[in-house]
């Protein structure tokens, strides 16, 4: 299970291992990981082998984030409000993987309904980082990142509304890929913020990410935001040839001199990033420094909170405990719904709903919601201008390695740096965006991210593959360092 | 200046059918002060009101309406399988009109 999808497929085809053996190994590892890091809501001990075909994913185990609907399998969104919910249908993305013989072996923990970035707010408890259990995995795709990094299987499904695939991938030393908005159907994915939500995958290599998304993607009449991507073949178009490609990084995010109170981890993280850029230049890639209005960057976290909370408030209004979910107590329907929602939602979720509701009130819409949407456009237009000259924007992920769990409040504070939140631009514009590990700080993995223009996923993954190949962090398995 | 107060937070929570503890109320207030501060700066961006709010993620996306077609609907049994109280083919709830419950 520590191998790539291609390697596992070759072993299966040669008969050196069979699907049931891979599943058994993955399930055994799942239980070990669950005891140590609490990555799963459900482990599917009855998972059965499938026929190995020429499809690279056939017979190979994988994990599913617990906000994907899975037929006859508990799907909770890591929320008490859906702790007993069992869908009668599969999400389209899941269905596509099952149709080629991929084998789900567990459902992974997330921050409740995907609305957090720490991996600490799921109803089954905190997910710990497999490199250092005193640190967070980040979120919301916390269990998926933990399990892939720990070698339970080569890939797990994630979803990404702000950075929920790409940040946990960074903290766990693996690859996290969010394709262009609408490339993968979201039918059956529990909605959080519909103008930002994107399905994607966490893997240990860029090629594996390409293989999985090639299968997951496609137009779906049950998700009107999907588009025809049949002319895109991510895996076949990975060549590693990047001569003449152009990347840029943003001075206002990467210059250590702009962080007067920086700690050692931030300094080392940015130093490592700048050193890696020099390495990439030797591949024939041109890399420029560009400037972006700092005021715009500083507004980014609040714009995200305003838009995502407003959309979430609307999306979650059907969680009443009447038609599904545990019934609340009360003498009438209103009391029952209030009891269900009060007990079912964590403080984090309640906070988001209330802020969203306030923002959407008629008298507040102009000041908060519409201004947030206007700044969203300014940010997206800024990035699109960069894409006129560059293939992608390359930036460090976060302000260093995984943060300590005892500092995980997941509350927006005044000192929230744009450096921590810039990946949200990928969701604002629907841009394809991929995180790959780029080194170690304090013996823990750190990562960089590249984000390209919409529909340019093939180019983006090819560049990511070339960068990955020039470093030594491909297909790494987490080893506890503390 | 915003008028985001403890009482307003409780009122919004009640409308959302959510009960809040004192601590949860304070968390909302604390975070909102920061959001309000940042979005106040946004409101002062030059010509901000002339910018069209971004409502759709992909500007070039064209929605295609499919032809009307009769599809199978889901089974009532499937629709009700996650409901804790069912009477026949319907969701059971306390009496809404007339009576005590």
The mean pLDDT of A177-195, rounded to a whole number, is 98
pLDDT at A369: 94
Say whether A85 and B82 touch across the interface (CB within 8 A). Answer: yes
Q: Cα torsion at A256, A257, A262, A265 (round to 10°)?
A: 20
Alpha helices in A120-183 (DSSP H): 142-150, 166-172
Q: Which of B78, B84, B93 is the closest to A88 by Cβ?
A: B78
Residue A130, phi then psi, degrees to nearest 5: -70, -10
CA angle A261, A271, A376 (to 5 degrees): 70
Q: At residue A239, what are phi and psi to the nearest 5 degrees?
A: -115, -25
Classify residue A114 by its DSSP letter.
Answer: G
CA distances for A187 relative to A73, A92, A136, A222, angstroms:
16, 6, 30, 6
Q: Which residues numbered 247-286 in A keep a CB inside 8 Å of some CB on B? A: none
For residue B26, the chain A residue with the least C-alpha distance is A351
Residue A376: closest C-alpha in chain B: B54
Residue B30 lies in a domain: yes
The count of residues in chain A is 482
Q: What is the mean pLDDT of chain B?
A: 87
| Chain B positions in Cβ-Cβ contact with residue A412 (cut-off 8 Å) | 31, 34-35
Residue range A273-298, pLDDT digits in tens: 999 999 999 999 999 999 999 989 98
To which residue do tokens 């700044």 refer? Answer: A375
Q: Do A302 and B42 touch (CB under 8 A)?
A: yes
Instruction: Dump pLDDT digits (tens) for A404-438.
Output: 998 655 454 555 478 999 999 999 999 999 999 99
B81 and A345 in contact by Cβ < 8 A? no
Helix (H, G, I), strand (E, B) or coil at A159: strand
Q: Tell me how far CA of residue A261 lies from CA of A68, A257, A258, in angstroms.
A: 41, 10, 9
| Record: contact A182-B9, CB cut-off 8 A | no
Confidence band of A481 (pLDDT split at 50, 70, 90): confident
- The burial class, CB within 10 Å (0-12 / 13-18 / 19+), for B62 is exposed
pLDDT value at position B1?
44
- Interface membership of A362 toward B (CB under 8 Å): no
pTM of the model: 0.96
Mutate to test the interface with A, among B13, B46, B54 (most CBs of A within 10 A): B54
Residue of A nearest to B100 (CA): A331
Contact predicate A207/A238, CB 8 Å:
yes
Exposed, middle or buried by CB within 10 Å (0-12, 13-18, 19+), for A469? middle
Residue B32: left if φ>0, alpha if ψ -120 to 50, beta else—which one? alpha
Instruction: Please list, in sequence order, all residues whose beta carbon lies within 8 angstroms of the beta carbon of residue A330, skipping any fewer than 6 positions away.
Output: A336, A337, A338, A339, B94
To the nearest 10°, the Cα dihedral for B32, B35, B36, B39? -160
Percent of chain A with pLDDT over 70: 98
Nearest Cα of chain B lies from the Cα of A90 at a distance, in angstroms, of 13
CA distance B99 to A48: 53
ipTM: 0.90
Selecting among A26, A140, A205, A433, the annotated active-site residue is A140
Answer whether A74 touches B (CB < 8 Å). Answer: no
Task: Say if the Cβ atoms of B51 and A377 lie within 8 Å.
Answer: yes
| From A368, A380, A416, residue closest to B39, measured CB to CB | A368
Mean pLDDT confidence for A314-339 = 94
pLDDT at A170 over 80: yes
Residue B2: per-residue pLDDT: 57
**CA distance linking residue A431 with residue A383, whole number of Å:** 9
Q: Given this model, what pLDDT does residue B3 score?
A: 74
Taking the Cβ of residue A115 and every Cβ of chain B, the question of whether any pair is shorter than 8 Å is answered with no
Q: Please, are residues A470 and A279 in contact by the beta-carbon 8 Å criterion?
A: yes
DSSP string over A2-35: -S-HHHHHHHHHHTSS-HHHHHHHHHHHHHHHHH
Closest CA to A143 of A41, A73, A61: A41
For residue A429, list chain B residues with Cβ-Cβ distance below 8 A. 57
A104 exposure class (CB count in 10 Å sphere: 0-12, 13-18, 19+): buried
Q: Do B31 and A412 touch (CB under 8 A)?
A: yes
Per the DSSP assignment, residues forming a β-bridge with A108 are: A40, A65
With H, G, I as helix, E, B as strand and everything else as coil, classify residue A448.
strand
* Contact between residue A151 and residue A477 where contact means Cβ atoms under 8 Å apart: yes
Query: Catalytic residue among A79, A141, A164, A229, which?
Result: A164
Q: Choose among A354, A414, A428: nearest Cβ to B16.
A: A354
The predicted structure's pLDDT at residue A412: 46
Which residues numbered 378-407 in A keep a CB inside 8 Å of some CB on B?
A: 378, 380
pLDDT tens for each residue of A327-366: 999 999 999 999 999 999 999 899 999 999 999 999 999 9
DSSP one-letter string for A202-222? EESSHHHHHHHHHHHB--BTT
Look at residues A90, A97, A118, A85 and name the one whose alpha carbon lies nearest to residue A201.
Answer: A97
In a domain, B26, yes or no: yes
Domain span at residue B32 reads: 6-50
Question: Once rounded to an integer, what is the mean pLDDT over residues A399-403?
Answer: 94
Inspect the interface and report whether the beta carbons of B18 and A411 lie closer than 8 Å. Answer: no
Assign 3-class secondary structure to chain B.
Answer: CCCCCHHHHHHHHHHCCCCCCHHHHHHHHHHHHHHHHHHHHHHCCCCHHHCCCCCCCCCCCCCCCCCCCCCCCCCHHHHHCCCCCEECCEECCCCCCCCCC
Q: Is the pLDDT of residue A141 over 80?
A: yes
Phi, psi torsion values for A404, nearest 5 degrees: -70, 140
What is the average pLDDT across A9-20? Answer: 98
A1-482: CATH homologous superfamily?
Amidase signature (AS) domain (3.90.1300.10)
Band of the pLDDT at A263, cuts 50, 70, 90? confident
- Say if B29 falls within a structural domain: yes
- HEC string of A248-267? EEEHHHHCHHHCCCCCHHHH
Query: For residue B36, is it within any domain?
Result: yes
Q: CA-CA distance, B36 to B17, in Å (whole number)?
A: 24
CB within 8 Å: A333 and B42: no
Give the HSE-up count for residue A180: Cα atoms under 13 Å, Cβ half-sphere. 26
Q: How far is CA A148 from CA A45, A230, B51, in A?
A: 18, 28, 43
* Rounded average pLDDT over A226-231: 96
Q: Write down the pLDDT at residue A273.
A: 98
Please report the number of interchain residue pairs, chain A to chain B, with beta-carbon separation below 8 angstroms. 166
Tell me: pLDDT of A127 over 90.
Answer: yes
Where exactly are the structural domains of chain A? 1-482
Chain B touched by A306 (CB under 8 Å): yes
Residues B22-58: tens digit of each pLDDT: 999 999 898 888 878 877 877 888 889 999 999 999 9
Q: Does A51 touch chain B (CB under 8 A)?
A: no
Count of domains forming chain B: 1
Average pLDDT over residues A306-330: 94
What is the DSSP annotation of A348-373? Answer: HHHHHHHHHHHHHSHHHIIIIIIHHH
Q: Which phi and psi (to 5°) does residue A34 adopt? A: -60, -45
End-to-end CA distance of chain A: 23
Chain A residue numbers with beta carbons less than 8 Å from the beta carbon of B85 are 327
Nearest to A380 among B54, B81, B100 (CB): B54
What torsion, rounded to 10 degrees, do the Cα atoms A162, A178, A295, A365 define? Answer: -50
């Amino acid at each position: 299970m520590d191998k790539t999808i291609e390697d596992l497929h070759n072993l299966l085809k040669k008969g050196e291992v069979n699907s049931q053996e891979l599943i058994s190994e993955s399930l055994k590892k799942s239980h070990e990981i669950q005891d140590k890091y609490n990555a799963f809501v459900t482990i599917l001990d009855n998972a059965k082998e499938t026929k190995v075909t020429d499809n690279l994913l056939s017979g190979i185990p994988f994990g599913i984030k617990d906000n994907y609907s899975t037929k006859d399998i508990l799907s909770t969104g890591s929320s008490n409000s859906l702790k007993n919910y069992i869908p009668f249908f599969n999400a389209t993305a899941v269905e596509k993987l099952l149709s080629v013989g991929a084998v789900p072996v567990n459902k992974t923990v997330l921050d409740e309904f995907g609305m957090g970035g720490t991996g600490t707010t799921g109803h089954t408890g905190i997910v710990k980082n497999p490199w250092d259990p005193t640190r967070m995995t980040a979120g919301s795709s916390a269990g998926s990142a933990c399990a892939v990094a720990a070698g339970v299987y080569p890939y797990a499904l994630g979803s990404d509304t702000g950075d929920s695939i790409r940040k946990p991938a960074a903290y766990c030393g693996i690859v996290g890929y969010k394709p262009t908005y609408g490339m993968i159907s979201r039918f059956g994915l529990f909605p959080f913020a519909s103008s930002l939500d994107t399905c994607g995958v966490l893997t240990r290599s860029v090629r594996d990410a390409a293989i999985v998304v090639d299968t997951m993607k496609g137009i779906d009449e049950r998700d009107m935001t999907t588009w025809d991507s049949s002319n895109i073949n991510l895996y076949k178009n990975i060549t590693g040839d990047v001569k003449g490609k152009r990347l840029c990084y943003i001075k206002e995010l990467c210059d250590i001199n702009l962080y007067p109170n920086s700690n050692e981890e931030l300094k080392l993280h940015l130093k490592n990033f700048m050193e890696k850029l020099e390495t990439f230049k030797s591949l024939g890639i041109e890399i420029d420094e560009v400037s972006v209005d700092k005021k715009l960057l500083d507004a980014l976290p609040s714009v995200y909170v305003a838009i995502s909370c407003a959309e979430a408030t609307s999306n979650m209004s059907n969680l009443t405990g009447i038609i599904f979910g545990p019934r609340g107590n009360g003498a009438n329907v209103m009391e029952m719904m209030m009891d269900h929602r009060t007990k079912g939602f964590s403080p984090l979720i309640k906070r988001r709903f209330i802020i969203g509701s306030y923002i959407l009130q008629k008298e507040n819409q102009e000041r908060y919601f519409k201004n947030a949407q206007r700044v969203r456009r300014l940010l997206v237009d800024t990035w699109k201008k960069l894409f006129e000259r560059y293939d992608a924007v390359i930036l460090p992920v976060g302000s260093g390695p995984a943060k300590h769990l005892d500092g995980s409040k997941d509350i927006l504070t005044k000192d929230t740096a744009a450096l921590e939140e810039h990946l949200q631009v990928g969701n604002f514009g629907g841009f394809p965006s991929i995180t790959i590990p780029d080194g170690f700080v304090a013996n823990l993995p750190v990562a960089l991210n590249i984000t390209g223009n919409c529909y340019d996923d093939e180019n983006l993954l090819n560049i990511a593959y070339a960068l990955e190949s020039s470093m030594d962090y491909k297909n790494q398995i987490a080893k506890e360092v503390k | 200046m915003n008028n985001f107060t403890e009482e307003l937070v409780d009122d919004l929570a009640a409308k959302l059918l959510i009960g809040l503890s004192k601590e949860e109320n304070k968390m909302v207030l604390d975070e909102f002060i920061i959001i309000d501060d940042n979005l106040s700066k946004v409101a002062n961006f030059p010509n901000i009101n002339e910018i069209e709010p971004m409502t759709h993620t992909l500007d070039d996306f064209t929605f295609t309406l499919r032809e009307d077609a009769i599809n199978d609907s889901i089974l009532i049994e499937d629709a009700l399988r996650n409901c804790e109280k069912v009477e026949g083919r319907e969701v059971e709830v306390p009496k809404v009109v007339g009576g005590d419950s």
